[in-house]
Amino acid sequence: PDEQTMQSIAAFIKQRNLDRQALDALKGKENITTDGRTIRIFANIGGREDVENVLENDAGGIGLFRSEFFYLGRQEAPSEEEQFAHYKEVVERMAGRQVIIRTLDIGADKRVDYLGLQEEENPALGFRAIRICLHQPEIFRTQLRAIYRASAFGNVGVMFPMITSVEEVLRIKEIVREVREELISERIPVGNPELGIMIETPAAALISDELAKEVDFFSVGTNDLTQYTLAIDRQNEKLSGFYNPHHRGVLMLIEMACKNAHQNGIWIGICGELAGDLELTKTFVDMGIDELSVSPAKVLLLRKAVRTL
């Protein structure tokens, strides 16, 4: 490369290092807007290997622990002990910062032979997530036992995906109560995790006033909420031009869920890709969103944005 190109590269590297230093200076600072409102900024993870990144970027907690990776690429479901050890390690390493574990969120688009999932025409609208858990309660109970045991070692929340009705939530709470009482009767230490649901279907947003009476928090899964609201298959490349998470219909559903959460005294967060979309940070803060959960690498960028609002 010629000298001009070399100078451009050097200037780019210098600026990148300055930007990184400016972000690093935000570690330990609070996520407070200029008018004094605090927004919790959490991180999304897929397993214990991501925790170091979460701590390095000074996230306030883990807003989405995707547990489905335990279930992939194996011949049988993970045991209670295996899951417990994994969750416990993450919870202990987070040292009091909240860890929100999402229960199994998987469908026929993934090959998991031991779940007996048959190929489906449209797996996004099929037998998946909480529907599998309620249909195969032994898998669900094993995971809940592991989570509740880990909750004795720190600050844990549990959230349930793909909710569309109050009846599902009531059934989940019944199973949760049974599992907790079972562990207590076995003299196994348990905590008392917050229970939340994902708002990722239009149905959940539309009845969020009823759902909010049954849980401790909402977490908006904007990827699926956008897909289901706009009737667009995210896997279909031909439709990528129609996939618009900024669509007014999507934002109206999020705002509705936010309003209903607060009217019922519970908190609400966002854990989909939109949580890290800096074009929407002000919109979400103005709505009253309490928590944004993003990839660890986006935590400090989001803190910077929040502190300028």
The pair of structure tokens assigned to 156 is 């844990």
Closest CA to 212 of 175, 259, 178: 259
Spacing of C-alpha 185 from chain mean position: 31
Q: Give the pLDDT of residue 199.
A: 98
Q: Where are the domains of the chain?
A: 1-30, 31-307
CB 84 within 8 A of CB 149: yes
19-41: average pLDDT: 92
pLDDT band at 118 (very low <50, low <70, confident <90, very high): low
CATH architecture of the domain formed by 31-307: Alpha-Beta Barrel (3.20)
Residues 203-259 pLDDT 10s: 999 999 999 999 999 999 999 999 999 998 877 888 888 889 899 999 999 999 999
The residues, ordered by sequence, that sit 6+ positions from 59 with a Cβ below 8 Å of its Cβ are 41, 42, 43, 97, 296, 299
| Spatial separation of the C-alpha atoms in residues 157 and 174, rounded to whole Å | 17
Predicted pLDDT at 223: 93
pLDDT tens digit sequence for 146-185: 999 999 999 999 999 999 999 999 999 999 999 999 999 9
Q: Which residue has better confidence, 31 or 132?
A: 31
Residue 290 in tokens: 């309490």
Report the distance separating Cα 92 and Cα 96, nearest Å: 8
Q: What is the pTM of this model?
A: 0.90
**pLDDT tier for residue 120 given thresholds of 50, 70 and 90:** low
